[in-house]
Every structure is written in C-alpha cells, then in structure tokens.
Amino acid sequence: MNTMWPTNSQVGKRLDLAAQNPAHAYIFSGQKGYGARVLADVFAAKLLSLEYVSSTAPLHHPNIVYIAPQEGKKKISISQIHSLIHNASQTKFSQNLPRIFIIDRAEQLSLEASTALLKTLEEPSLGTIFILTTYSLHSILPTIRSRAVTITLPKLSNAEMQQYLSNNSAISEQDSIDQFKNSSEEARQFATGTVSEKLAVAKQVAEKQEASDFLDRLCYTLPTESSILVRAFNQERIMEAEKQIGSNVNQRFVLENLALQWSN
C-alpha cells in the first residue's frame, strides 16, 4: 500500500498523477468504511501542499469548504448548494491555490441540489475542484458522474489501515495505538461472537459514545469466510444502523438491535 494514500498502490498511483494535473471534479466511491472521506481529505491536503496528520478531524484551511446533510436531515438541500456557489464567488480564498469543495455522502443530494450542482460542474470556475464522496455511486445523477473522474475504492484490511495511520502520524502516541487495537478487537468480537458477546460489546461501545466509529471499523471486520449474501446482508444492517445513529437514535438500542439482526 502506498504510504502517502490511505488506499492500495494502484489507486495511489492514480491520485499521484491526478494531483499533478487535477480535474475539476472527482467522485470517491466505496462502501461504508472504505475510507472515502479520509481519502478526500488526504487528496485535498495534497492539492494544497498541506501536511495531513489526522484521520478524524476535518482539514481547516480557508480554501476548503465541506458540505454534508445538516444535522437531523436526510438530504443535502438546494439551499446548501446555493450557499456553496455564493460563497465560492464571495469568499476570499488564499491566492495561487485551488478552491476545494468536499461534498460528503453525495448520494444524499436532493434532486434539486443535484441539478444546481450540475450547472456548476458544467461551467466550472478556474481553480475550483469538487470532491464528492459516496457509498452509492449509482444514486448520483449520471450527468454529474459524466462530468467527474470516478475513483472506486477497494476494501483495506485492518493491517493496511493501521500501517497507513502509523506511517502518516495520525496515530502517533501509544495510547492511541492501543485504542485503535481495542476498537478493532471489539469489532471482531461483535462480527464473530455469540449473541451475548455481541450485546456486551454493544453496551461497551454505547457507554463510550463511539457507535459511529465502531460501525466504520465493523465494515472492515466482516468475516471473509462468510458467503457473499451474508456479508451483503450484514453490510446493509450496518448502513441502516449508521442512519439511525445519524438521526440521534439511542446508541445502545441501535447496536443491540444490530446484534440481534446479525447473521453469522
């Protein structure tokens, strides 16, 4: 795996080339837990000549604008896109650097928001780069997909992701490394354990208020020896749980429900 990019070497080589002569729009597509958002941040940092040192916090730079569904909302609204377009023309950005708009979970763009974004992509401003991340590429308008470079992300193993994080100082302290290992072990226990073990993990995670991070880790831990149908079933349950967490449903209730629905 390329130590610069949180992905495999093949995708890393594509991004190395892209960073030298970037297009005006990219779509990073991968299943939940494949690291599309992290990769968007790393790519943005590369374009702005920044040092990327964290996989958890968004980048803070005047040339980066993030858009995602507002709290309690299921869709990215047209007003958010209009605000983006207005800010792009009004905000003073750092000169001689690209302006980057990261649209997270782009499959949740409303139809009106998608149409507004399409008009912007059809006539992109010089020096403006859009990065869309998505769990569901085909939920994005074909006309938007046709105006962007799509990069499909592979699934990484826990070892590969841990290697990336360690090499890029995202996990630099021993206690952080231990925390990473512990969270991976919790996900493994949940994925392969008995119902009672799953419920115990659900309780532990909920008490720490770490359900969202846990669900990300769980995506990496789906047993490869399980059938394709079983993995797909569990992946859908994880995505449903993530939506519930995003809607502020009680974390323990969501995780215990997931434990009872899980197919081994």
If you average pLDDT over residues 54-73, what whole number do you get?
75
Phi, then psi, of 177 in degrees rounded to 5:
-65, -45
If you average pLDDT over residues 151-160, what whole number do you get?
75
> Looking at the predicted structure, is the pLDDT value of residue 145 above 60?
yes
What are 200-209's pLDDT values in tens digits? 999 988 888 7
What are 69-115's pLDDT values in tens digits? 877 778 899 999 988 777 666 555 556 788 899 999 999 999 999 99
Name, in order, each residue with C-beta under 8 angstroms of 230's C-beta and a sequence gap of 6 or more: 263, 264
> Looking at the predicted structure, is the pLDDT value of residue 175 above 50?
no
> Looking at the predicted structure, is the pLDDT value of residue 237 above 60?
yes
Interatomic CA distance for residues 231 and 180, integer angstroms: 23
Predicted pLDDT of residue 13 = 87
Predicted pLDDT of residue 171 = 43
pLDDT-derived band of residue 244, with 50, 70 and 90 as boundaries? confident
Residue found by looking up tokens 């998608």 in the block: 114
Residue pair 8/130 in contact by the 8 Å Cβ criterion: no
> Looking at the predicted structure, is the pLDDT value of residue 56 above 60?
no
For the chain, what is the mean pLDDT? 81
Ordered by start, the domain boundaries in the chain are: 9-152, 175-261
Predicted pLDDT of residue 211 = 84
> Looking at the predicted structure, is the pLDDT value of residue 186 above 80?
yes
Q: Which runs of E-coded beta strand occur in 57-178?
A: 64-67, 99-103, 128-134, 149-152
Predicted pLDDT of residue 3 = 46
User: Tell me, which fold does domain 9-152 have in CATH?
Assistant: Rossmann fold (3.40.50)
Token digits of residue 72? 């309690």
